[in-house]
Amino acid sequence: MGQISRTTNPTGLKQIDRKHFVARVKDDGPNGRVFWLESFDFESARIDPGVRMGCVAHAGATEEYFDLGPVSDFNKSPLSLEGIATDKPLKFRFMFNEPGESLLVGYADGVRAIDEAGNLGSSLVDIEPRKLDGVAWKLVLPEGSGTGDKPNVLVEMSLFPTAAIAVSNPWFGVLVMPEVMRQIAMAIAHDPDALDDPESWIEPWSAFISAIGVDAPVASDEDDVAARQDWADRVVERFAAKGIYKHHLAKAMAEMDGAKS
Amino acid sequence: MIIPVRALNDLGIARFASWLDIPEGDPPKELLIDGSVTDVVDGGSMIDTSREFATSYDLGLYLAREVFNVPGDRLALLANAGMWAWISLLFIESLLAKKKKPGKPLAKPHYIMQSPRLAYRLIARTAWDLVSLHGESAKVALGSSRSPWGDMAEQMTSRQEIYSHRSFWPVACALYAMPDGSIKRGTTTKRHKDARRDPESRVGLGSVQRLPFTFRQFERTYNLRQMTGDQIVALLPDEYRKWRQA
C-alpha cells in the first residue's frame, strides 16, 4: 500500500451524516448493557449494498470493535457492551469498506444512541443524562488532548431524562450553562496555546471564542489565576449576550412570574 | 506466602495514604492482613506475597496470568479502588522510585485511586489492564527498569483514544521498542509550539506523542482494526521513517 500524508484525503471517502443511523442502547439486566443498530439508510447515504460496515463503540478509555457485515443485511442483533465504561459518554464510530479491503469508502464519527443523545445535533459540548447520586450536574472536561473529545455535561437523569429535555429547559440554560462556559474558559485560559494546536480538544473552541467577540487569552504566569478569571468572566458575559441565553432567561423569568413553561 | 486478594477499606487507604505523604520508616504492610482495615475480595483470587517485579510490565503480566486469570467483570475489577490500593501496598517495593529519590514513593495517584481522571496512573491497575488488553505490546509502555512509571507510560495511557485501541499498541511496539524491552532514544520527545511553526524543524516528529494524532488521521481513511501491525507501519508517513529503520 502506498503512503499518504496526514493532511490529504486522496481516496475521496465520504463522511456520512449521523442522521442515517439509528443506534439503540439498553441495559439488559443480567446480560449487562447491549447496543444494536436499528437502522442504517445506506441508500440515502449513497453506500453500495455490498459494502461492509464496522463499528467501534467507545466510552472514555474503553472501546470495542464490531464487524456488522454488509450494509444491505447488517447484524441487527444486540451486541454486548460489557467492557465499555458506563460512567463516560458512549459514542459510536461507523466505518465502511469494500469486502477484502481496508481502505474506507465512508465513515461516521460521534454517533450516539438515540436513547442517550436526544436531538442536540452538533455542538461544542455533549450533554449526557447519568445517575449522579444527588448532584444535579457536573462538567467533565476531556482527558488527554484528543480533538475528538468534547466537554461533557453530565446531568442527573431523574431531573433530565434526555439531553434534549435539558437543552430546552430554561433553568438549565440560565443556571448551568454559564458555569459550564466559565469552567471551559478557565481551561482554555490555562492553556491558550492549545487554541491553535490541532491535536488538542481546545482547538475547535478558537472559532467560538472569536465569534463571540473575545480576544484569545494571553499566556500568563502559572500563578496568575486572577488574569485567567478575568478572561473567563469576559467569555461568560459575551456568552450570556447570545440570543439563546436571552431566550432562556426570558422564559425563566416568565416562569417565575407564573407562566407555564 | 499465597493468600487471598484483599481490599483496603477507607481507613486502610487513609493509613496507606498517610505513609505515602510522609514515607518515613517501613511501609505499613501490617495493614495487609488486618481484618479491621481490609476485606477479602470476592472471586477467590489468590496472590503470592513474596513476589517482586523488575518492571511494571512484569507486575501486570503476573496479575493477568496468575491472579486474575479467570474471565470476569473487567469494569468491576477496575473500579475496586480498595483492592488496587491493597495490591499497591503489597508490592510497594517494586513500585517505588528507582532513579530520582530511590526507594521513595512516586505521586500518590500511582498507588491510590484519588479521582477517575487520574485512575490511569495507578500502576498496578493499569499494568494489569494493559497486559490483559494488549499482551506483550504493553511492554513498550511498562517495560522500563528505570522507573515503575516513566514518561512512556504516561504518554501512552493518558490518551483515552488509544488506551484500549488494539491496533495502536503493536504499532507503537514495532516503532519504539528495542529488543531488550527498553525504548529507543527520543521516543517521548515532544514537538513544542516553536517546532510546529518551523517547517524545517524535525524535533519530535514521529514520536509517541505524535502517533495518536497520525492514527486518528489514518482512521479516517483505513479500517485499522482489520489491518496487521506490519501493514499499518508500512503505511505511516515519512516522519516515522527513522523509527521504522532504527
ipTM attached to this prediction? 0.73
Of residues B164, B218, B225, nearest to A62 (C-beta): B164
Convert the pLDDT of each residue in A201-222 to its tens digit.
888 788 788 878 888 898 766 6
Give the DSSP H/E element, type plus range, for residue A15: strand A14-15
Residues of chain A with CATH 2.60.40: 1-114
Does the pLDDT of residue B84 top 90, yes or no?
Answer: yes
B133 contacts in chain A (CB < 8 Å): none
CB contact under 8 A, B216 and A97: no
CB contact under 8 A, A104 and B222: yes
Percent with pLDDT over 70 in chain A: 84
* A261 or A47, greater pLDDT: A47
Q: Which range has the worst mean pLDDT, A2-11, B113-122, B141-150?
A: A2-11
Q: What is the DSSP letter of B11?
A: H
* Cell numbers given for A244: 439563546
Q: Identify the pLDDT of residue A114.
A: 67
B217 contacts in chain A (CB < 8 Å): 6-7
CB B196 within 8 A of CB B190: no
Q: CA torsion B151→A6→A205→B190, rounded to 10°? A: 20
Q: What are phi and psi of B140, to 5 degrees?
A: -60, -30
Average pLDDT value over all residues in chain B: 90
Does the pLDDT of residue A123 top 70, yes or no?
Answer: no
Structure confidence at residue B53 as a pLDDT band (50, 70, 90) = very high
CB A69 within 8 A of CB A104: no
Q: Identify the pLDDT of residue A8.
A: 55
Strand segments, DSSP code E, in A60-178 are 62-70, 79-80, 91-97, 104-111, 126-130, 137-140, 152-156
- Min CA distance, A237 vs chain B (Å)? 29
Of residues B74, B212, B223, nearest to A95 (C-beta): B223
* Per-window interface: A 166-225 vs B, CB < 8 A: 193, 197-199
Instruction: Quote the CA–CA distance of B209 and B196 in Å, as a whole number.
Output: 13
Q: Identify the pLDDT of residue A75.
A: 93
Q: Which residue of A has its CA nearest to B117?
A: A143
Q: Identify the pLDDT of residue A30.
A: 65
CB contact under 8 A, A97 and B226: yes
Q: Which residue of A has its CA nearest to B74?
A: A83
Q: Identify the pLDDT of residue A106.
A: 92
- Min CA distance, A29 vs chain B (Å)? 14
B228 contacts in chain A (CB < 8 Å): none
- Min CA distance, B74 vs chain A (Å)? 7
Query: Which segment, A203-217, B18-32, B229-243, is predicted with the most confidence on average?
Result: B18-32
Q: What are phi and psi of A130, to 5 degrees?
A: -145, 160
Structure confidence at residue A148 as a pLDDT band (50, 70, 90) = low
Q: Identify the pLDDT of residue A223.
A: 67
CB contact under 8 A, A13 and B221: yes
SS3 A171: helix
Q: Identify the pLDDT of residue A4.
A: 47
Instruction: Quote the CA–CA distance of A92 and A94 in Å, as a whole number.
Output: 6
Q: What are phi and psi of A56, to 5 degrees?
A: -110, 115
Residue A41 has a CB neighbour count (10 Å cut-off) of 14
Does the pLDDT of residue A2 top 60, yes or no?
Answer: no
* A223 or B155, greater pLDDT: B155
Q: If you write DSSP's letter for every residue of A205-257 in order, what string do you get? A: HHHHHHHTT-PPPPP--TT-HHHHHHHHHHHHHHHHTSHHHHHHHHHHHHHHT
Inter-CA distances, A200 with A20, A196, B164, B195, Å? 28, 8, 19, 16
Chain pair A-B, CB pairs under 8 angstroms: 93
SS3 A37: strand
Does the pLDDT of residue B151 top 60, yes or no?
Answer: yes
- β-bridge partners, A79: A35
Q: What is the mean pLDDT of residues B206-210?
A: 86
CB contact under 8 A, B120 and A61: yes
Does the pLDDT of residue B172 top 50, yes or no?
Answer: yes
Does the pLDDT of residue A35 top 80, yes or no?
Answer: yes
CB contact under 8 A, B231 and A102: yes
CB B208 within 8 A of CB B222: no
Q: Is A77 on the interface with B (CB under 8 A)?
A: no
Of A124, A148, A143, nearest in space to A210 by CA: A124
Give the DSSP H/E element, type plus range, for residue B172: helix B168-176
- Min CA distance, A249 vs chain B (Å)? 34
pTM here? Answer: 0.69
Instruction: Quote the CA–CA distance of B209 and B193 in Å, as a whole number.
Output: 13
CB B113 within 8 A of CB B84: yes
CATH code, residues A1-114 = 2.60.40
CB contact under 8 A, A143 and B222: no
Q: Is B141 on the interface with A (CB under 8 A)?
A: no
Q: What are phi and psi of A67, to 5 degrees?
A: -90, 115
Q: Which residue of A has its CA nearest to B209?
A: A199
In angstroms, the first-to-last Cα distance of chain A is 59
Mutate to test the interface with A, among B222, B231, B235, B240 (most CBs of A within 10 A): B222
Q: What are phi and psi of A219, to 5 degrees?
A: -60, 120
Instruction: Quote the CA–CA distance of A146 and A187 in Å, as a whole number.
Output: 15
Q: Is B213 on the interface with A (CB under 8 A)?
A: yes
Query: Which segment, A85-99, B19-33, B184-198, B207-221, is predicted with the most confidence on average?
Result: B19-33
Does the pLDDT of residue B117 top 80, yes or no?
Answer: no
